[in-house]
Structure 1
Amino acid sequence: MSRGDTVGDVGPAPGGVDPAHGALTQVTVVVVDDNSVIRMGLRSLLEASDRLRVVGEAADGEEAVRVVRATLPDVVLLDVRMPRRDGVQVAAEIQAWTKVLMLTYSEAPEVVRAAVDAGASGYLVHGTFAAHELERSILAVAEGSFLLSERAASAMRASWAAPSTPAAPQRPDVGLSERQREVMELVALGRTNAQIAGECFLSEKTVKNHINHIFAKLGVRTRAEAVSVWLGGAPDPGRGRP
């Protein structure tokens, strides 16, 4: 299966007949979820399959790492939101030892992407797949496939389509105070001293003092020069010298 396939498109399962002993091979699984009812339900569901064998479970992130290190399962069913360490952090650590299949209620695009970036081999959302599809998904991940449920895939597509946040404008770092930076931003917008005084609740004399200090730090003599340096992002060391 190629990256981007969904639960309904899984390939042949790895479980089969061991040619040496004629016995059905099984995929070992660890179940990780802080909800004991969900863990019990998953264990019952998986143990009904002759192709899967549950070898451990954990209720939080720290315990999950310990259990996985001790059992080295083929696949870990891993929740996202858990005490002590969340599932994304756990996935990043254990993906070197096992295949990780996220199984959670969260379908937030940033969570899906973080889990995939952390090394998860798949992402399923509770309530969006049938019981037999969970077995097929586990077997596919154990085989080396990557899969996303349709809801997780939609979340990923939404994150790709989301506009990127514009970078904050760069301003020269010349040691201006927060108030001086505020005043300089208003100067750059073309505000007069009186207008700046009104917007910042300062006297015009105080505004003028701020501007004098700003000009000294920027190494300029005029408002035009100050705006040019401020918006350009770097002061000119030679500017303002006689």
Structure 2
Amino acid sequence: MSDGTVRIVIADDERMVRTALRVILDAESGLEVVGEAATGAEAVSVVRELRPDVVLMDVRMPETDGIRATERILATMDALPRIVVVTTFENDSYVYDALRAGAAGFLLKRAAAEDLVQAVRLVARSDSLLFPAAVRGLAAECGRRAAPAPAWVNRLTGREADVLRLMAAGLTNAEIAGRLAVGPATAKTHVAAVLAKTGARDRTQAVIAAYESGFITPG
């Protein structure tokens, strides 16, 4: 993304889906689809070769599914792309597993074109990609797999706890700043502190940790 253009790879076993996504994204300024893959194994190869900024990854594909492909990509590359899981059902347990594997967020296949474009732009700048409607399904799945509360829960300050709750609600840094009546830089600092204390690689992993620890409960 050195010239400001977000480079994208689309991985989906349906040619029609790949074509539709390409048409939508290539029509947008600053977005460019640089490659496609029809299987998980092919996705790993294409991503390693082209080194995109964002990968749209279907969960269920032949040979290697999107979860395993996500794990392999994130385990073997230095400059990590942001991987967005594209799925049919928001409460699919595969989505949870993909997020646990390191995907930055997920998007429903029935999402409107503008939501797709927004998702790619958001995730490219490492912002939130857990839309409120989708968080409910994630929360329920996390709740079913909740683990004992880790030590970091007690290390959060009151303000950091508020920020984590807002992150779990799908708010961006700008929206968090507005909700807490602080500047954008301050909100960004709080988010960074939350990531550091939870040991999360990104916002999505922090939200998963919050639900799994019981810090936030479904509903």
TM-score tier (shorter):
0.5 to 0.7
1:184-213 CA-partner distances (Å, limit 9, x unpaired): xxxxxxxxxxxxxxxxxxxxxxxxxxxxxx
Deviation at 1:160, TM superposition (A): 3.3
Deviation at 1:153, TM superposition (A): 1.2
For residue 160 of structure 1, give the secondary structure of its aligned residue in structure 2: helix
Name the residue aligned to 2:71: 92
RMSD across aligned positions (CA)? 2.0
CA distance in 2, matches of 1:100, 1:163: 23
CA distance in 1, matches of 2:120, 2:145: 34
1:59-109 CA-partner distances (Å, limit 9, x unpaired): 001111110011000000000000000001111121343110111213234
Alignment match of 2:137 (pick from 133, 155, 177)? 155
For the 8 Å contact 1:28–1:53, the answer to whether it is kept is yes
CA distance in 1, matches of 2:99, 2:47: 19
Structure 1: where are the runs of 5+ without partners?
Answer: 1-14, 19-23, 165-242
CA distance in 1, matches of 2:100, 2:142: 14
Q: How does 1:114-125 map to 2 (within 5 A)?
A: 114-125=97-108
Structure 2: where are the runs of 5+ without partners?
Answer: 147-219
The answer to whether structure 1 residue 59 and structure 2 residue 59 are counterparts is no
Name the residue aligned to 1:144: 126
Q: In structure 2, what residue type is equivalent to 1:136?
A: Q
Name the residue aligned to 2:54: 75
CA distance in 2, matches of 1:134, 1:79: 14
**Runs of 4+ off more than 4 Å:** none
The answer to whether structure 1 residue 29 and structure 2 residue 8 are counterparts is yes
For the 8 Å contact 1:46–1:135, the answer to whether it is kept is yes
Q: How does 1:102-181 map to 2 (within 5 A)?
A: 102-127=85-110, 129-162=111-144
For the 8 Å contact 1:121–1:145, the answer to whether it is kept is no
- Kindly indicate which of the two structures has a greater share of residues assigned to helix: 2
1:160-199 CA-partner distances (Å, limit 9, x unpaired): 34387xxxxxxxxxxxxxxxxxxxxxxxxxxxxxxxxxxx
Sequence identity percentage: 38
Q: Which has the larger radius of gyration?
A: 1
- Equivalent pairs counted in the alignment come to 142
Deviation at 1:50, TM superposition (A): 1.2
CA distance in 2, matches of 1:94, 1:163: 25
Deviation at 1:140, TM superposition (A): 1.1
For residue 83 of structure 2, give the secondary structure of its aligned residue in structure 1: strand
Deviation at 1:151, TM superposition (A): 4.2
